[in-house]
Structure 1
Amino acid sequence: DPVFFYYLLRYLKPNFVGIARNKQTTGLGHITKRDLENLEAAYPRLPEQRAIAHILGTLDDKIELNRQMAQTLESIARAIFKSWFVDFDPVKAKMEGKQPEGMSEEIAALFPDRLVDSELGMIPEGWEVLKFPEEFDFTMGQSPPGSSYNEYFNGVPFYQGSADFGQWYPTERIYCTAPTRFANKGDV
């Protein structure tokens, strides 16, 4: 079944990456026809392949739908954040004697009814302008030896900034067998 074969190849991707990496000299690594002919994998009979492919395809469809819903919710969250904490719409509404639109009285009570001048411009009364180091402790990571990196799921996931952090969650791309520092629960 071609769809089952697609999922099988996707599952075997780390093997392909390893083969290509072992052949890499000065340019890009590669996979040859002989490499593919030498690859071995167990697979079920055709009816089971079709059933597995259908289930995995259905799961992929659901994942894509969830991704689209998360993108929509992210857009809504960004709009609310900008309204509340950049444009200060709830504060402005209260300054006009109005109930802030789309929020409960309990949440609205958390916002002041006045803006005051600051070095950044007008901000809600009671807010402060601070520099990040005054509020947060920063801990920088340490790079483990490059020889400990792999793409074979060996070790712990190793995240390196924007290459690995997507819009909503990190992507496990590289693994490390010799990590030097871990973030602890509650670290900022």
Structure 2
Amino acid sequence: MEYVKLGDICTKVCSGGTPTSSNPAYYDGNIPWLNTNEVNFCNIYSTNKTISEEGLKKSAAKYVPENTVIVAMYGVTAGKCAIAKIPLKTNQACCNLIIDKEKADYCYVYYYLRQQSDSLNKLAIGGAQQNLNALTIKKFKIALPTLPIQKKIASILSTYDRLIENNTHRIRLLEQMAENLYKEWFVRFRFPEHEKVEMVNGLPKGWKIKRIADFGRIETGKTPPMSNRKLYGGDILFVKTPDMHDKMFISSTSETLSEDGNNYQLTKLLPANSIMVSCIGTAGIVSINAKPAHTNQQINSIILNNLEDLEWLYYVCKQMKPTIELFGATGATMTNLSKGKFEKLKVVVPKANIRESFHKRIRPYFKEIFTLDQQNTLLTRQRDLLLPRLMSGKLEVKS
């Protein structure tokens, strides 16, 4: 196995550009435009933003082809990578590696860089924001077995990622179906037999206005002293807002507490199936803990009186994001909604029999989402165990 510079196996290495944000005509066109914060060890099939033909002409953005390997160069994302599965444009914080298919397999290169992302990140230079540059990335050396071996390694690892992607797609469909039913019943008021129900003051008769605290005990999390490492590193979930993004159920976290950490703040322990809502910083993110957990102080959680309200109240909380941001406004740049204010937030409460019907309809969706999420956790663990062994040659692969 030889080591080669990335630049030597590319037909082209380039970055992108950003049209000026002051001209709205440059955006919301039909050209996919990738931001560096979307480069997060994944395949890119779509982008959060698009630019117009005019925006393309007025910036340094250029098309990169399908199967380009993209490396993030700026800030906290520096060293992360992704594969463009569609032709797209990127901003200037992305280094785009167009791999010469006669010399290397793009998928192998992606997995190698994924495994070496920490090493790439350490090459970043600068002041408060550490940045990589294209020259540093071009000089970065990777281990390169024969092309057939590269393709075999990439095939093994991509099989796991395809299964994860398929499960994730099914999760998104189930989430959308459940949320659509919630909106149909509780936003548009088209619940079963709604035609027979009289409207009183804009609400179906028998529906009430209550406060969040009426549905369970509200608990605000707490961070044990970081200086005491004996409190960390065990098996108990310690949930922070980044753990909650795009996750209905939380079954693993980037940081955990030990038994000592749990005992340090035992009254803060959340039983499984509590509803966690971020209320400081990035507010209005909602998740459910799949097993007992602690959270940090940025999260208020509802320990439910009645678990049959779980599905309904989960979507109630998701719909309250604008309200949380409004009532959490402090005049500073960061949202901060206290426990006291969170408890007092008002919600429209359907009659108990309608909430029970919703629970029976939606519970199977939540169970399947949980099962698929657990499968993804297992697949991810298996892939991540294989990755360094395949790349180091410790696990022999035959072409």
When the two structures are superposed, what TM-score results if normalisation uses the length of structure 1? 0.57
Q: Report % sequence identity.
A: 24
User: Does residue 123 of structure 1 match 2:204?
Assistant: yes
The correspondence of residues 83-98 of structure 1 with structure 2, limited to 5 A, is 83-89=184-190, 90-93=192-195, 95=196
Question: What is the alpha-carbon root mean square deviation over aligned residues?
Answer: 4.2
Where do 4+ consecutive residues of structure 1 move more than 6 Å? 154-157
User: Which of 112, 127, 136 in structure 1 is aligned with 2:216?
Assistant: 136
Task: Give the equivalent residue in structure 1 for 2:272.
Answer: 185
More strand by share: 2
Q: Secondary structure at the match of 1:9?
A: helix
Whose RCO is larger (CA < 8 A, sep 6+)? 2
The correspondence of residues 19-98 of structure 1 with structure 2, limited to 5 A, is 19=122, 25-28=127-130, 30=132, 32=136, 36=140, 47-89=148-190, 90-93=192-195, 95=196
1:135 counterpart letter in structure 2: F
Distance 2:119 2:256 in 1: 17
Pick closer, same or farther for the CA change 1:10–1:54 going to 2, 3 Å.
same
User: Does residue 5 of structure 1 match 2:109?
Assistant: yes
Q: Secondary structure at the match of 1:73?
A: helix
Distance 2:132 2:256 in 1: 23
For structure 2, the 5+ residue unaligned runs are 1-103, 275-302, 304-399
| Offset, 1:81 | 1.0
Pick closer, same or farther for the CA change 1:63–1:116 going to 2, 3 Å.
same
For structure 1, the 5+ residue unaligned runs are 96-113
Distance 2:228 2:148 in 1: 42
Pick closer, same or farther for the CA change 1:165–1:80 going to 2, 3 Å.
same
Distance 2:164 2:170 in 1: 10
| Offset, 1:136 | 1.8
Task: Give the equivalent residue in structure 2 for 1:109.
Answer: none
Residue-by-residue CA offset, 1:127-154 (whole Å, 9 max, x unaligned): 44321112221111113456689xxxx7
| Offset, 1:80 | 0.9
Distance 1:45 1:124 in 2: 72
More helix by share: 1
1:164·1:171 contact (CA, 8 Å) conserved in 2?
no
Q: Secondary structure at the match of 2:200?
A: strand
Q: How many residues align?
A: 156
When the two structures are superposed, what TM-score results if normalisation uses the length of structure 2? 0.31
